Amino acid sequence: MTMRAIGSWRAQARCRGADPEIFHPSDEDDGAQAKAICAECPVREPCLEYALTSREKDGVWGGLTARERRRILRQRRKSA
Ligand code: SF4
């Protein structure tokens, strides 16, 4: 387990103990295994917010790949 989950929510992270490689899919379009774990995670929202605000560049966070997070950040910039 890496320090992928940082914050008070991390104790409830569903990915604790999961293989970190699942959360770093080689193909940016993949990550289905990680997303399935995130889908059942009780702290998906704070996890995603953390990844967005800290500009995490790699891996699946909060159920989204890096590409998907970049899209959200672009949308937020547009609507800001
Ligand atoms: S949303 Fe996904 S990456 Fe984030 S803590 Fe939960 S299982 Fe881990």
Ordered per-residue pLDDT tens for the chain, 80 residues: 445 546 789 999 999 999 999 999 886 557 999 999 999 999 999 999 999 999 999 999 999 999 999 999 999 999 98
Cα(75) to ligand 1 centroid in Å equals: 22
Show the CA angle centred on residue 70, arms to residues 69 and 72, nearest 5°: 65
Query: What is the Cα–Cα distance from 26 to 73, expressed in whole angstroms?
Result: 22
Q: What is the reported pLDDT for 4?
A: 53
Query: What is the Cα–Cα distance from 80 to 44, expressed in whole angstroms?
Result: 23
Atom of ligand 1 nearest to the CA of 38: 2
15 C-beta closer than 6 A to ligand 1? yes
Collapsing DSSP to helix, strand or coil, 61 comes out as strand
Mean pLDDT for all residues in the chain: 90
Cα(73) to ligand 1 centroid in Å equals: 19
Mention every residue, 6+ apart, whose C-beta is less than 8 A from residue 55. Answer: 73
Q: What is the reported pLDDT for 30?
A: 79
Residue that the structure tokens 């702290």 belong to: 43
Collapsing DSSP to helix, strand or coil, 51 comes out as helix
62 C-beta closer than 6 A to ligand 1? yes
